């Protein structure tokens, strides 16, 4: 069930990134750059989460077929 652990970890990471974006004050110098970096990291983590979900779906489909 490593995939389930990966999925929960990815959700936690995504939540942390979203919180960091929300807490970044827009009036600080370099805030746009920081938000852009966080957004890129969010995109990567979301793609990883989707891959893990697809893998889990395949496993479930395989197990239903048995």
**pLDDT above 90 for 43:** yes
State the pTM of this model.
0.82
Please give the structure tokens belonging to residue 12.
């936690």
Q: CA-based angle 58:61:66, to the nearest 5?
A: 125
The number of beta carbons lying within 10 Å of the beta carbon of residue 52 is 20
Residue 16: how many CA atoms within 13 Å on its side-chain side? 8
Provide the pLDDT for residue 42.
97
Query: What average pLDDT does this structure show over 31-45?
Result: 95
Residue 28: how many CA atoms within 13 Å on its side-chain side? 9
């Amino acid at each position: 069930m490593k995939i389930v652990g990966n999925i929960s970890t990815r959700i936690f990471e995504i939540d942390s990134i979203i919180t960091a974006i929300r807490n970044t004050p827009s009036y600080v110098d370099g805030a746009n750059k920081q938000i852009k970096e966080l957004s890129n990291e969010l995109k990567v983590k979301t793609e990883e989460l989707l891959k893990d979900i697809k893998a889990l779906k395949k496993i479930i489909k395989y197990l239903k077929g048995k």
